[in-house]
Chain A
């Protein structure tokens, strides 16, 4: 016998057995990554990392069951042992194949991770987020060795997998509870290596024992006689049960070890969290608890049909003409019962231990927790019970169960978040797997795996996938879009105007103690690049898109001297604002509305004092200085290409119109300043041009931003949306709004303008009659939030009248 040839053939066999699992994991990983990329590439770091580490972990956990358990179930292990091959060679090759397979899965996982990161442009680094690879590799080896040890030592593949999960849970709990500060990493690594070595040794001994000739033992004799506390009493009574109770007994007795183990796996983490009301458990414990609860529910679904799949046991009932509906219901009763008990336990524990138990929202919080948990549990169970009917191999089903459940939850989250599917449709979709398994139970019982079986299952799967996406598809197909000709015009105008686009410069009244970052609200309002707006840093670095603007840093910070009077402080602030306005002609108070309030307040105060106390040179100067500053701000705003700055200009001009209508303003301003104000207000063409330039520039920015920008924004304005999945067509929506705004802006007569306004209001999702003016004109967030609602208002008609020299007060 050529031993080398034997080893080669054994390796070939093992890799042939592993290959489907590796391919399957790669495909599933790819699906996950695609889903992640479509949904939101920038905010799913945890999911990516879990996937990166999860695929090898899953392989390592399942490889023992696949190479040992499945062979034992199909009795090929026994046949192998009968061949003239060294037992040690059989075992060695299995371990070798598993290690090589694990390395392959690591490579696949790594490639998927890197490609996904580069496609989503998260960053230049391969590992933009902290991933402890060495720990991941060690942990996967730990799982692999324990997986083999349990597979060799435990006759039932399912129970072996359960034992693996239990050992992994116990290990994780132990290391979390016995974590030693400072040497935690070393301790964890040493512990993992030690446990892996022990598992390898135990696995080796168990393998030798499993391949050795069977020897009778007391335990085996007991198993042969089958004395069990579980079933003895009812059988001895010789009372024939109803079919229902007999079938439920059969299911529970058949899967008792699994059900008991899964219940432990589910309830132990739950109890640990609940018994610690302070929630001061180590950080990894929560993830561990979640993972094990997730796996236990997945396997609960897998148990539903797999217990009867093993050795084609279900044929026994099928041969006897038991109705499929009875079989289906009796398979579901116990697992669903366990789920209900789990949910009730969670509710009771939450009622006693939740931190919010003492506040008034207690019942709401508990209700929400129970509802969300129930939905998650139901979804996981529903899809895994379906999968367990479709997949014939218990081992493959056990490995696939958590993956399919995870994929389903990811798709659910994607549908909810990105496709914005209504909850009721998602809830409906979770019942489809139940309907599918109900419908196909007869085929499953009869082992009729023909075309009709696969076609119907594929149909149900397609329905489950498509149903949550239907609202989005409807929106996608019916959502209005900007005409092509307009798109060409907008693009050409954006390119043409980009050379003249100017950046607004922030002016403020921040003290030195504050920082520019404290203007956080500015970035929220503006949505400008570099401040969390629609364009990311990479685009900025690359030169940005046409018409892009940036907010400049304030030239200086205001410092309030100590021991100043109120009058001195007001004067210092006015000087500070004037100094900033003199430095650049496009400075304006974008966010700190205190600047506007200060200027307008100063003007109003000066006017009141002059009207009440008589005009003094000091008051007159102060009044004129504030009006001059306001005019500078308006001019600066009009010179920039941003809808926000245009709204600033609108609001200041509106205030100025109101001011000019007050008695005595002419004399307070003086002829020169009055002429300047009238000229500014009467420049209708300049105003319209500035608005159009801003509209085009902001539209260009929105189109240049990444597809998955967080919301619908045009120039920093969030456009409310209706309908599912509008986030995925945000660019189209923004373009439509921009086109409607242009129509409104360029309307030639009142009738056309009113029509355009109605259409725009519809697209912006605001009442057509809503007017953007509010009681605090300096506030940037006032009114509807739609800048165009200020356009062509009464103030603008009044300003137009100035241009015609028809200003009447």
Chain B
């Protein structure tokens, strides 16, 4: 039982990061590597604040702000200095490594025996789920606003946005800020969850983020009523589940990553042939939701 709970806990905490990656990768069509720096940035800010005795919720908030600053930096490099999106992200990611070390003062800060947002009676999974689902709903609402539509249009059809007399550069920067703010918040929660912040925490985050977005979409895209943000969140939980499942299979320890990728492959392949169609039948049978589209 603990195992599933831990899948949910980690899945939802990383899910916030996945929502951030979803904004850049899916909505803005911007492969943003800044996240490898902004994830540990959130952890670094949170750890150094909590050690100083500052309220953990305030620490979360400042992590959010710090992340948006990182996104701003990438956005300015890309939009104002006309750097390619990959290079802008890489430069900020590299720079953040040293900044994170400066913020933390050392490579690893333990937070054992400190009060954080997970201490207390409420189970960790519930808090993590609340955070992730609230943020998902807020993001959905935001994407329905006028600015949200502009953001989506910036990724889909930048000419349209320009023809409306609106600067796509501005919408991109805001999108990047929001995305990295979420990634940083996720890093903040992760540090509090595992009770330490480590400057190496960002390694592999972009892979995990992209994998989660893509798994969620691949498995659920045929269910047309599911919002893409929900898919991203579910994708995150599924990805953690794959790793946990790989651990449970008792293969030699050195094969863990191979087994993880095989599980993902099998899940996607099965879905391609079976589950997707069944889901589709299930939902079309229920009053022709598809026909409405």
User: Is B one of A's binding partners?
Assistant: no
